[in-house]
Structure 1
């Protein structure tokens, strides 16, 4: 077991509970809805929103307690991410992808690295799984990195960056402090998620100490022999499969987006009338009742699947390192695919086509959500891994085929 040398640090609000922090996210939803256009123009959420998130404790949800975090766990983090995405898809995406990798750091790195990386309490660390750039030894056991890594959601307020680089034909994961890289102004031209802060990160001889690197690829990590985080913190959730929890986090944000679309559709149900006789409110019309009910049922099923998947993930962590096999990790990941598919079917099949032309004009809430959800289809996790690779890998693991 890793020796403990770091004196525990109390979080800012030691008595804060998971339900209270979720309630804080819920209270922010109306303001996030109102600021969606502004967020898109800026390409990331506002500085005062970032400060509000910090005060609320959002950036410490997954940070271990001994380093000043709340250690509330994956369920609370997913609930907050989903809630923020319900208000503003771009904001939810940027927050989630900037904060989710806290769990990977707390799971995979040793105490020396964690005490350094979590020194400030708040931890924001966008990550990319695609290797990029180049690395050369710095002569002191560390590395000097050069290159550009794209799609680093969460970059504007990041304290660190997690990336991959190929060294001698094998991937190396690294975490670079903020003063070793620069953010490029290259985001906002996509169809959707224009405000998600998914800028590129560039390094020109950025120095990364050896203890902030690992000879692994984040999507291929095996945890069946235990992890430094499980031993250090005594919390099973710092020993779970990184692949499944990353993809479940993505699906939670997509589900939150769809729930936001249902909120907008409900408002239209209450305030708009039918265009064909008999003229009634949409809420009184049998067809609109059907479309609303159909979408609502899909999203309720998606949320139930998401909740159960998170519970399965946590139970598997608690069962011990040997329980979190690759098969288990990939099987849980496939649930995230089905959650996202149900969310998309609800929006694309029920809500968007029946909301009316005025509701899908540029800048309208349902129009923006449709654009944002459409853009998620191009994300490598959904478009490549979950769409094809995960099925094959799950089957190979199940039948013992190398």
Structure 2
């Protein structure tokens, strides 16, 4: 039996009716040593192990934000985010894969109708990568459902996923018939889009992950659908980036917790920010070990923990990472407060405000690692396979995610300014 299995079983004594957010967080913390020890193994496999997945299931990690009416805990999203941050601090690949697979029970429980939710949450645990870029195509089936074809990339969480939440272009009707024709480019209407959820039996995972610089174990494989069929109620005709909750959501009407009426764009920014801060906390943990195990390069060759320069660097980086954590926790609190207000309060402006706060937290934490911890750790500390080297690779790769690198630094800034200034 592995360290991870022992830890969760020791912590899982209470019956499920007695499970609390604090207990789930305790279970996550108990898994940290085992996850740290298995980072190299996770990278080689390209996703976390089957016994780790089972430990997460036993701990209830895949039911945190699954609605109560379908057997979930319906705990607040910030409980989920704290668990994700703890796991990411231990192993960035594991935390990334867990968070970006399990987080979207909140999205599904918010945006899809009652009939769809009853079916997709029927098995209890819920893991679904969410790809907001429009890949592939969808066309109407004779029974009114949808037929899907295409390859969806960067599906973090795919190895153990129960579903895929994807976006695609609708083809085969008059509205979308001219899409892509160069001669009609100026006159053609934009192609209609479909937000869909596809069960596991309708797709296959491709063996195409692991060759990247970092996050090699994040299970971010591609998913291929060839003639996959889903019922009509598993699709919503909407452009993902234009989703608004100002008029309410199906989940707000269905469930007790108001978080199912929260804005999805900022909830996803919160996911990324908690992951980034967790990674940087892991980097600081590795640097802390070096403070006691390594000496200065000049006489009297004292432990780094006793050296004024290393103390200064350590204190500066610690403060930056702590400040970043404070920011993401405050952003999460703001997201929940907005969700609890009457329908209409969570405006597009507020959505972007939370999202750009998350971006600033991520930038602050990254600077602590990139400008202080990584360069002052020394070359031996960033040799291939060391913990700090791995975290730096993972952080560098995480920063190339389109949401962090492009959308939150361009579209979000402009959009927030336009909405804010328009009110004056």
Q: Which range, TM-score by smaller chain?
A: over 0.9
Matched, 1:98 2:120: no
Alignment of 1:1-400 (within 5 A): 13-167=16-170, 168=176, 169-400=191-422
Q: Secondary structure at the match of 1:82?
A: helix
Cα gap change, 1:181 to 1:12, in 2 (>3 Å): farther
Mapped contact 1:125–1:162 kept (Cα < 8 A) = yes
Distance in 1 between residues matched to 2:20 and 2:369, nearest whole Å: 33
Deviates more, 1:210-219 or 1:28-37: 210-219
**Number of corresponding residues:** 391
Deviation, 1:371, is: 0.4
Mapped contact 2:138–2:194 kept (Cα < 8 A) = no
Mapped contact 2:74–2:257 kept (Cα < 8 A) = no
Q: Secondary structure at the match of 1:367?
A: helix
Distance in 2 between residues matched to 1:314 and 1:12, nearest whole Å: 28
Mapped contact 2:213–2:394 kept (Cα < 8 A) = yes
Distance in 1 between residues matched to 2:147 and 2:71, nearest whole Å: 30
User: What residue ranges of structure 1 are gaps of 5+ in the alignment?
Assistant: 1-10
User: What residue ranges of structure 2 are gaps of 5+ in the alignment?
Assistant: 1-13, 171-175, 177-190
Q: Secondary structure at the match of 1:133?
A: strand
Cα gap change, 1:12 to 1:198, in 2 (>3 Å): farther
Mapped contact 1:129–1:217 kept (Cα < 8 A) = no
Distance in 2 between residues matched to 1:45 and 1:265, nearest whole Å: 24
Q: Which string of whole-angstrom CA distances, capped at 9 and with x for unpartnered residues, describes residues 176-212 of structure 1?
A: 0000000000000111000000000000000011101
Deviation, 1:12, is: 6.9
Distance in 1 between residues matched to 2:353 and 2:115, nearest whole Å: 33
Distance in 2 between residues matched to 1:154 and 1:356, nearest whole Å: 34
Q: Which string of whole-angstrom CA distances, capped at 9 and with x for unpartnered residues, describes residues 356-376 of structure 1?
A: 211100010000000000001
Distance in 2 between residues matched to 1:160 and 1:304, nearest whole Å: 33
Q: Secondary structure at the match of 1:294?
A: helix
Distance in 2 between residues matched to 1:65 and 1:342, nearest whole Å: 37
Distance in 2 between residues matched to 1:221 and 1:370, nearest whole Å: 34
Q: Which string of whole-angstrom CA distances, capped at 9 and with x for unpartnered residues, describes residues 19-48 of structure 1?
A: 110111111111111100100010000000
Mapped contact 1:164–1:174 kept (Cα < 8 A) = yes
Distance in 2 between residues matched to 1:278 and 1:207, nearest whole Å: 70
Q: Secondary structure at the match of 1:175?
A: strand
Taking structure 1 as the reference length, what is the TM-score of the superposition? 0.96
Distance in 1 between residues matched to 2:194 and 2:15, nearest whole Å: 34
Q: Secondary structure at the match of 1:151?
A: coil
User: Structure 1 stretches (4+) deviating beyond 2 angstroms?
Assistant: 217-220
Mapped contact 2:113–2:251 kept (Cα < 8 A) = yes
Deviation, 1:219, is: 3.2
Mapped contact 1:12–1:68 kept (Cα < 8 A) = no
Q: Which string of whole-angstrom CA distances, capped at 9 and with x for unpartnered residues, describes residues 281-300 of structure 1?
A: 11000011011101100011
What residue number does 1:7 align with? none
Distance in 2 between residues matched to 1:400 and 1:206, nearest whole Å: 44
Mapped contact 1:164–1:173 kept (Cα < 8 A) = yes
Distance in 2 between residues matched to 1:333 and 1:321, nearest whole Å: 20
